[in-house]
Amino acid sequence: MPVSIALRPFLLGALLLSPLACSSPSMPASTTRAASPAIDLSRFMGPWHVIAHVPYFGERGHVASRDEYTLRPDGRIAVHYVYQEGFTEPVRTLDSKATVKADSGNRRWTTWFFGVIPTKFNILEVAPDYSWALINYPGRDLAWVFARSAEVSDAQYSQLLQKMRGHGVDTSKLVRVPQLKEQVGQPGFAAPKQP
């Protein structure tokens, strides 16, 4: 099946990023501490709203975006990314699969786009009740704040940024992703691709 025109820029970008993903340094000691409990994959499954991220071509301008994870019988994870390019625009999706690195405490994942393009990410920290998660791309180039709820208070967001800084992430590059129409134009929120 040919790749649709809409996905070609994403595919090109993923191809450009894949050498970086394969050659990135391993996680620093701060995220692989023996004291850190392993991520419970069954609890991590389900929908995660993208509350904030370091913008890059693959997600720039998206609103109401979320990742939905489903554990497959073969041990891999189905990844269903849902987004809009504006609140009046159609809902779009992108499906991929992920594998979890053995002996990483379920923290190091490789996501496979189109079945062949690998990108890596690390789960830095998860709330005890799995209500939020902090994610980064190896090398600290990209980062995400996930939450089960579409809305996170300013106070909680500030606390999550502080935790992110504790993991060595440059939080000055993070911008909030509008999950609700009324967040568009508010300070700290990214602009949608389409009005």
Displacement of CA 88 from its chain's centroid (Å) = 23
- pLDDT surpassing 70 at residue 14: no
Q: Give pairs for 150-155: CB < 8 Å, separation 24+.
A: 150/49, 150/64, 150/179, 150/180, 151/179, 151/180, 152/51
Average the pLDDT over 7-25 and give the result: 39
Q: Residues 162-192: pLDDT tens digits?
A: 999 999 999 999 999 999 999 999 999 999 9
Condensed to tens digits (0 to 9), the pLDDT of residues 94-142 reads 999 999 999 999 999 999 877 778 888 999 999 999 999 999 997 768 9
Query: What per-residue string of b and e applies to 28-58 under the rule 16 or more CB within 10 Å gives b?
Result: eeebeeeeeeebeeeebeeebbbbbbbbeeb
Which pLDDT value is given to residue 140? 62
Instruction: Assign 37 to helix, strand or coil.
Output: coil
Report pLDDT for 84: 98
φ, ψ at 29 (rounded to 5°):
-55, -30
The CA distance from 136 to 122, in Å, is: 5
As beta bridge partners, residue 75 has none
Which helix (H) or strand (E) is 123 found in, with range? strand 117-126
Spatial contact of 195 and 184, defined as CB atoms under 8 Å apart: no
